Amino acid sequence: MILSLIRRHLTVYLRDRWAVFFSFLSVFIILALFMVFLRSMVMNWYSDALDQSLAEIMINHWVLSGVLMVATVTVPLGFLGIMVQDRETKAINDFYVAPVNRGHIVISYLLSALIIGVVLGILNLAVGQVYMLLVYGDLLPVWDWLRLLGLIVISTALFSSVFFYVVTLLKTSNSHGTLSTLIGTLIGFLAGIYVVIGGLPSFTQTLLSLLPTMHMASAFRLIYMDNALIQMAEHGMNVEAFSLNMGVRLEFFGLSPGLWALIAMALVWTAVFVALSLMRVRKMKR
């Protein structure tokens, strides 16, 4: 039964081309800004320390990992507009009068958000890799692919559960649209892409470092840039300073969480929001 609901939700979402487009709008904006100035700006910072080809790979890996993370935020949020719309138009009543468990109906939206986030995340990863292969002849090792895949699942689960909880509080598509615009606008900052985290005042750095968006951005960069960082170290670069400046590693309250610590925090956040969501679902039963 849940599968039928998921199939319906995903078909409805994918048929609405504009909804899909807007789910990726932040990604497109980041890529556009990257091409217009971000790329050359960061390249200039490190042009003395790195040779051109390594700098190119480094900056591309940095932005592609950011783009991967951003899509795990915006795609579930965009998709969940379907749930808000179904409740606003009362189309959901059509499911409620069928012999389907109400909890299953509500949970089907959460699972659909996770599925579409992961599928489009994989597509996002593949497109980035094809670009890197065609332009730079650079491809990540299979192990990194698998690790990124796992992280896409974790990050999508985290933001699906956060936004699932949030949208259960929304009543209209209008409010969902406003929220999507807000998140879409802020996400480039919340993930340290529009402005690298090292360029911000220290209080802001600490504040941003506490957010799950920054944790996940760091986690994606740690994997995506793993090889590039090793090569950069071999070229005698101060990788530690670079990592902190570019948000590959975070530092707050004297801590600098590694990949596993970031994943553990993501899982805790996911568990908290799934629990909160289930409490909401229970309340939503009639």
Partner 1 sequence: MKSIEVNNLVKSYGDVRAVRGISFAVEEGAFFALLGPNGAGKSTTVEILATLLAKDEGTVSIMGETLDRDDAKIRRHLGVVFQYGTLDNDLTVRENLAARGAFYGLSGQALQTRIAELDKLIDFTSYLDRRIRTLSGGQRRKAEIARALLHQPRVLMLDEPTTGLDPKSRKDIWALVLSIKKDTAMTILLTTHYMEEVLDADHVVILHEGVIRAEDSAENLRLAYARDTLKIMPKQGLLKKLDQDGVAYERINATVHVPLKNPFEGVDLVGRHREAIESFEIVKASMDDVFLNITGASLEEGTS
Q: Which residues, other chains included, contact 274 with Cβ-Cβ below 8 Å and sequence gap of 6+?
A: 161
CB of 93 to partner 1, least distance (A): 6
Candidates 48, 94, 169, 260; binder of partner 1 (CB under 8 A) is 94
Pick the piece of the chain touching partner 1 (CB under 8 A) from 84-92, 121-129, 249-257, 276-284: 84-92
CB of 278 to partner 1, least distance (A): 20
Q: Among candidates 269, 229, 270, 227, which has minimal Cα distance to 249?
A: 229
Contacts from 31-38 at CB under 8 Å and sequence distance 24+?
31/63, 31/67, 33/188, 33/194, 34/63, 38/63, 38/193, 38/194
Pick the piece of the chain touching partner 1 (CB under 8 A) from 86-94, 166-174, 197-205, 264-272: 86-94
Residues 7-26 that bind partner 1 (CB under 8 A): 7-8, 11-12, 15-16
Candidates 32, 35, 36, 98; binder of partner 1 (CB under 8 A) is 98
Closer of 92 and 119 to partner 1 (Cβ)? 92
Candidates 44, 47, 53, 89; binder of partner 1 (CB under 8 A) is 89
Closer of 101 and 204 to partner 1 (Cβ)? 101
Pick the piece of the chain touching partner 1 (CB under 8 A) from 1-9, 39-47, 48-56, 125-133: 1-9
Are 246 and 199 in contact by the 8 Å Cβ rule? The answer is no
- Residue 96: C-alpha distances to residues 2, 100, 107, 217, 270 (Å): 13, 7, 13, 38, 27
- Each residue of 167-205: b (16+ CB within 10 Å) or e? bbebeebeebeebbeebbeebbbbbbbbebbeebeeeeb
Closer of 4 and 204 to partner 1 (Cβ)? 4
Residue 251 as a binder of partner 1 (CB under 8 A): the answer is: no
Interface contacts to partner 1, rule CB under 8 A: 1, 4, 7-8, 11-12, 15-16, 89-91, 93-101, 286
